[in-house]
Amino acid sequence: AAAEWVFGYEPRELVGQRVNVLMLPGDSSAHDGYVGNYERTGVKKILSTVGRTVKGLRKDGAVLTLKLTTSATDSGYAAVFVNISDELKVENALASEKAKAEAQMKLLSDMLPAKIVQKLLNGDQDVSESHEAVTIVFSDIVKWTNLAAALPTQAVVELLNHLFSAFDELTETHRVFKVETIGDAYMAAAGIHGCADHALRVARFGLAMLEAAEAVPTSMP
């Protein structure tokens, strides 16, 4: 019987009992409210024919996620429970995997050109490319070791985040590609998309990097 399979009760244990005994107190009170409104007004639409999600309570104390459908009858109302715990587990697992996939996709997009990312998604093993003419800029902070040693750890993180965030904005302005950051080093390039003015772009980007660096305080709270 459904009562035994879903809730762990023998059918005789539930005969004459209200459906409330199968729900947690909060959902039980809400159910009483639905039914009470119906009994006072006679408006059948107050009863949920679509189904409400409630927390059910098994005889052994385990909590279930259920869909409760309540329908009006000539003698009062009828309640039907559907166990959707497994369905929700699957939905939650799918949502978790989707979130992981989106996070991985964002990480790839932040690290690699869109063209390379698409190759990886297509299953290509060889994603290497060659370019006849590119210009690369590589920067690091002079006396960084001494500066980092003199600042609290949080201040070091905030300083680099402030600086590299400014550099990231400049890559958009000057249309250069951010390659990577390692410690206090920042690497970018232009020409990988075939532009002829790659050297000029990187030169302007480099000068803008110097201006951005001068605007960053060397001691941050």
Share of the chain above pLDDT 90, in %: 25
Q: What does the alpha-carbon distance between residue 156 and residue 217 come to, in Å, rounded to a whole number?
A: 11
- For residue 137, list its beta bridge partners: 188
Q: How far apart (Å, rounded) are the C-alpha atoms in residues 206 and 138?
A: 9
| Contacts of range 74-77, beta carbons closer than 8 Å, 24 or more positions apart | 77/35, 77/38, 77/47
Beta bridge partners of 82: 67
Residue 179 has pLDDT above 80, yes or no: yes
From CA 147, how far away is CA 192, in angstroms rounded? Answer: 34
The answer to whether 4 and 10 are in contact (CB under 8 A) is: yes
Binned at pLDDT 50, 70 and 90, residue 19 comes out as confident
Q: Is the pLDDT of residue 129 over 60?
A: yes
Higher pLDDT, residue 58 or 69: 58
Q: What is the pTM of this model?
A: 0.50
For residue 133, give the 3-state DSSP assignment: coil
What angle (nearest 5°) sits at the alpha carbon of residue 176, between those of residues 192 and 211? 150
Confidence of residue 7 (pLDDT cuts 50, 70, 90): confident
Of the two residues 57 and 174, the one the predictor is more confident about is 174
Better pLDDT: 91 or 145? 145
